[in-house]
Amino acid sequence: MTATPARLLLDSRCELGEGILWCERRQRLYWVDILACKLWCYEPASGHTHTWTMQQPLACIGLGEDGRLLLGLADGLYAADVDAHADATTLPLRKLADVEADDPMTRVNDGRADRNGGFVFGTKSEHADNRKAGRFYQYTAAHGLRDLGLPAAAIPNSICFDKAGTRMYFCDSVEPRILCCDYDAAKASISNVRVFVTLDTPGAEPDGSIIDAEGALWNAQWGAGQVVRYLPDGQVDRIIRIDAAQPSCVALRGDTLFITSARVGLPPRVLAAQPASGGIFFHHVGRVLSRSEDRVRLT
């Protein structure tokens, strides 16, 4: 299959860019730099960028129904009003839930709004041996935090949902496959866990994913410098090459795919060959594939 290239949008030089989202209401992109503890914002119409600095690693974000953002920091979930503090460099935070706050060897990692006003996320193992110390959770305003009962993972990732909100996709990035399961949002329960796809590129690790309007899954593949689009039956439909070895997450706006990337851990020779690592890339996919925004009910 012929691969097509993405182009650089912003040379943001993120250490660990992740969690990118498009906000239709604001006409802005939001993403995080986990290791730099920063929330980024970019407005395509004006070219303006802005960052807010957090007191701890920020791994994932969600759009709130009330206009606030949900922020998944290392020790918990928080809500923040970015519009009221648009020119500030820090954000007042309201805690929504503690997450494994008594365990210094895990932190919040990948997360995404489901189709029912909840937020599903995982916790990452911080152990040097990548032992499976992380879990998958659902947060709702009505029920707080509930364990989904999925197997423990080292690096939970690739969380996304089909249009109906009854199928959830996820992975443990240390294993070269993406799983799916049946998801009951009301009960915070899963069933029928199965393999969706097995990655066939040597060295590729599945990272952040989204589902588009046609039900296809776009997956950023860390270590392989590519994003792969899988049809609902798991067939590879398209490959987008990134001039950065570590693409990490994806978002869609209309017919445009946005991709975060990372610099962390890359040796000097790789950074010299791929100086845009850590930047935001984009690719026009040829037709409108974005779907309506999933928003989290924060109150």
Which of the residues are catalytic? 207
What is the maximal distance between C-alpha atoms in the chain?
50
18 is in an annotated binding site: yes
DSSP secondary-structure letter at 132? Answer: S
Q: Which two three-digit tokens encode residue 38?
A: 């920063």
Residue 192 labeled ligand binder = no
Helix, strand, or coil (residue 268): helix
d(C-alpha 156, C-alpha 124), whole Å: 6
CA distance 235 to 237: 6
Q: Is 126 annotated as a binding residue?
A: no
* φ/ψ (deg, to 5) at 239: -125, 130
Per 3-state DSSP, what percentage of the chain is helix, strand, and coil (rounded to 5)? 0, 50, 45
How far is Cα of residue 223 from the mean position of the Cα atoms in its chain?
Answer: 16
Q: Is 130 annotated as a binding residue?
A: no
CB atoms within 10 A of CB 34: 27
CA distance 156 to 222: 14
In 3-state terms, what secondary structure has residue 173?
Answer: coil
Q: Is 24 annotated as contributing to ligand binding?
A: no
Length of the chain: 299
Give the residue ranges of DSSP H helices in the chain: 268-273
Annotated binding site for substrate: 107, 109
Annotated binding site: 18, 107, 109, 157, 207
Annotated binding site for a divalent metal cation: 18, 157, 207
